[in-house]
Amino acid sequence: MPRPPAPLSAATTLATAGRDRETFEFVNPPIVRGSTVLHASVADMKARIAARNAGADEPITYGIYGGPTHQAFYDALNALEGGHRSWALPSGLTACVIAIQAFVKSGDHVLVPDSVYWPVRRYCRDTLARFGVTTTFYDPTIGAGIEALFTPTTRVLWLEAPGSHTFEMQDVPLLAQIARAKGAISAIDNTWATPLYFQPLKHGVDISVHAATKYIGGHSDLLMGTVTSNERAWPPLREALHNYGLTTSPDDCALALRGLRSMGVRLAQHRANADALIAWFQQQPEVARVLYPALPEDPGHALWQRDFSGACGLFGVALKKGVAEAALHALIDGLQLFGRGYSWGGFESLLIQSFPERTVTPPIHDGLLFRVHAGLEDPADLIADLELGFARLRAVR
Ligand SMILES: *Cc1c(COP(=O)(O)O)cnc(C)c1O
C-alpha cells in the first residue's frame, strides 16, 4: 500500500500499520494457516536461516515461527510502539513471564513492583525461585531509590504503570535509565496504556508487554499476549520464544489486528464513560477516592500527564473505612449491567472487588477496594445500575 511520508499520527497508524506486505488486493492480510512451508531449494532453506541468524526480520520457514498474518500484526505493533521486533504469545501472562525468563539464569536477581499483576508475583515466588532466581519486590513509587536495590546479579527491572488494582504510576524513563546504567534489561507491562497511549521503548525501556486480551482484542473473545522489543533485547528474547516454541494461531493474529483498527475510537468512548462514572462515584459519601492517574488529584497524575497521551476505562474505587464487606457484596452481586468477571478491555462493563497483595509496602488504603471497567454502554444506564447498587450497600449498613 503506498503511504504518505512519515510521521503519521497515531490514529492513522492504527488504520494503516501492518498493511505493507499485502500480496492480495483485499484490505486485510489473508489468514494463512499452516505448519510446513515449502522452499525452492536447499540453498533457499539455508539462505533464510542465515538471514535470520544475521539479524534479518523473521523469515517464513516453518509455521511455528509465524506466517504472513503474524507478520502483518507484528508490523502494526512495531509501528505503534517504535519497536524492532514483536511476537504474539498465547496469553498476556505468558508474555510477562517470557520477558523475564529470557534474561535470567540460576543465581540471578530480578526487581518487581509490589503493585504487579498478581500472577507475575506468583511466577516469581514459585517458579523463578525454584530455578534459583531471587526476586525483590519494590515500592512502585520508589523513583531514584531503585538504584540501591540493584545487586551485581540483577538482570531484569520489571515495571507496570499504573499498577494492577492500585493504579500507582511509575517514573518509567528514570527507572529505565537506571536499569540500563546498571547493565539490566527493563521491561514493562504496558497493558493499561495500550500501544496508543504510551510508547515505553521511546522512553528507554527495552521491552513493552501487552495483554492483547484486553483492549487490543477489545471484545472479550481473544486470549493473547505480545512482546515488542528494541534491538538490544531482541536476541535473548527471540531465543526464549524459539526455544519454548511459543506461537499463536493466525486466526488470533487476525482478530488482534482487527481489534487495533478500532482501538482508538473504542478507547475514546471507554474514557468518556469512565469520566462519567468517576464523576458519579466521587459524589457518593461512602467513596474515599477514585484511583485513576488521569484525575488531577491522583498522586500519579504528573507522571501520567508527562508520559502518557491518554487513559483507558479501567479505574479503582476506594470506599471509606467502616463500609462493611457484606454491604459491598450486596452492591456487586445485584448489578445487572456490570459483569462480575476477570479481565477487562472488552466492550462490556465489569466491576469486581480488589484484594491487592503487598509484601514490602503498606496497603494503599485502609478500607475496601473495587475495580471498575467502563464499557461501551450508555453511561446513564450504567449509573442507574450503580444507584441501585449503592442503595443495596446502604441497606446493609
Ligand atoms: C490481564 C492482564 C495480564 C494477563 O493477560 P492474560 O491474557 O489474561 O493472561 C497481564 N497484565 C495485566 C496488567 C493484565 O491486566
Looking at the structure of the chain, the number of domains it has is 2
Q: Are residues 214 and 337 both part of a single domain? A: no
- Could you tell me the three cell numbers for 126? 514459585
Which of the listed residues 239, 259, 279 is the one where a domain comes to its end? 259
- If you measure from the C-alpha of residue 28 to the centroid of ligand 1, how many angstroms do you get, rounded to a whole number? 27
In the beta sheet, which residues pair with residue 50?
A: none
DSSP per residue, 334-360: T-SSSB--S---SSS-EEEEE----SS
Q: Are residues 53 and 152 both part of a single domain? A: yes
Residue of 169, 188, 221, 343 to test ligand 1 pocket, by largest number of atoms within 8 Å of CB: 343
Closest-CA residue, ligand 1 atom 6, reads: 92
Q: Do residues 278 and 132 lie in contact, with contact meaning Cβ atoms separated by under 8 Å? A: no
Q: Are residues 218 and 311 both part of a single domain? A: no
Residue 41 burial (C-beta neighbours within 10 Å; 0-12, 13-18, 19+): exposed
Q: Are residues 245 and 266 both part of a single domain? A: no
Residuewise pLDDT in 10s, the chain (397 residues)? 666 666 789 999 999 999 887 667 889 999 999 999 999 999 999 999 998 888 778 889 999 999 999 999 999 999 999 999 999 999 999 999 999 999 999 999 999 999 999 999 999 999 999 999 999 999 999 999 999 999 999 999 999 999 999 999 999 999 999 999 999 999 999 999 999 999 999 999 999 999 999 999 999 999 999 999 999 999 999 999 999 999 999 999 999 999 999 999 999 999 999 999 999 999 999 999 999 999 999 999 999 999 999 999 999 999 999 999 999 999 999 999 999 999 999 999 999 999 999 999 999 999 999 999 999 999 999 999 999 999 999 999 6
Tell me if 243 is assigned to some domain: yes
The confidence score (pLDDT) of residue 397 equals 67
DSSP per residue, 53-99: HTT-S----BGGG--HHHHHHHHHHHHHHT-SEEEEESSHHHHHHHH
As a whole number of angstroms, the distance between CA 23 and CA 69 comes to: 11
- If you measure from the C-alpha of residue 93 to the centroid of ligand 1, how many angstroms do you get, rounded to a whole number? 6
Give me the count of residues in the chain. 397
As a whole number of angstroms, the distance between CA 191 and CA 91 comes to: 12
Tell me if 3 is assigned to some domain: no
The confidence score (pLDDT) of residue 7 equals 77
Tell me if 304 is assigned to some domain: yes
Closest-CA residue, ligand 1 atom 2, reads: 211
Q: Are residues 39 and 112 both part of a single domain? A: yes
Q: Are residues 76 and 187 both part of a single domain? A: yes
Q: Are residues 27 and 161 both part of a single domain? A: yes
State how beta strands 350-354 and 109-113 pair.
unpaired
Spatial neighbors of 58 by CB under 8 A, at least 6 apart, are: 52, 65, 66, 71, 85
Q: Are residues 223 and 311 both part of a single domain? A: no
The confidence score (pLDDT) of residue 23 equals 66
Residue 173 burial (C-beta neighbours within 10 Å; 0-12, 13-18, 19+): middle
Closest-CA residue, ligand 1 atom 8, reads: 92
- If you measure from the C-alpha of residue 96 to the centroid of ligand 1, how many angstroms do you get, rounded to a whole number? 8
Which of the listed residues 229, 259, 289 is the one where a domain comes to its end? 259
Closest-CA residue, ligand 1 atom 4, reads: 92
Torsion on CA atoms 339, 341, 345, 350, rounded to nearest 10: 30
Which of the listed residues 208, 235, 259 is the one where a domain comes to its end? 259
- If you measure from the C-alpha of residue 217 to the centroid of ligand 1, how many angstroms do you get, rounded to a whole number? 12
Pocket of ligand 1 (CB under 6 A): 91-93, 96, 117, 164, 189, 191, 211, 213-214, 223, 225, 343
* CATH number of the CATH domain containing 332: 3.90.1150.10
What is the extent of the structural domain holding 176?
A: 10-259
Q: In what order do the strands lie in the sheet with 287-291?
A: 287-291, 314-319, 369-373, 350-354
As a whole number of angstroms, the distance between CA 115 and CA 128 comes to: 18
Tell me if 4 is assigned to some domain: no
The secondary structure of residue 298, as a DSSP letter, is: S
| Torsion angles phi and psi, residue 137, rounded to 5 | -85, 140
- If you measure from the C-alpha of residue 223 to the centroid of ligand 1, how many angstroms do you get, rounded to a whole number? 9
- Could you tell me the three cell numbers for 288? 474515599
Tell me if 323 is assigned to some domain: yes
Using alpha carbons, list the distances in angstroms from residue 141 to 11, 110, 168, 338. 31, 17, 7, 31
What are the DSSP E strand ranges found in 90-231? 109-113, 134-138, 154-160, 185-189, 207-211, 225-229
State how beta strands 134-138 and 314-319 pair.
unpaired
* CATH number of the CATH domain containing 60: 3.40.640.10
Ligand 1 atom with the shortest distance to the CA of 225: 7
Q: Are residues 242 and 275 both part of a single domain? A: no
Q: Do residues 43 and 105 lie in contact, with contact meaning Cβ atoms separated by under 8 Å? A: no
Residue of 89, 116, 117 to test ligand 1 pocket, by largest number of atoms within 8 Å of CB: 117
As a whole number of angstroms, the distance between CA 127 and CA 233 comes to: 22
- Could you tell me the three cell numbers for 376? 461501551
The confidence score (pLDDT) of residue 58 equals 82
Tell me if 2 is assigned to some domain: no
Sign of CA pseudo-dihedral 227, 232, 235, 240: negative
Q: Are residues 269 and 199 both part of a single domain? A: no
Q: Are residues 45 and 183 both part of a single domain? A: yes
The CA radius of gyration of the chain, in Å to the nearest whole number, is: 22
The confidence score (pLDDT) of residue 170 equals 98
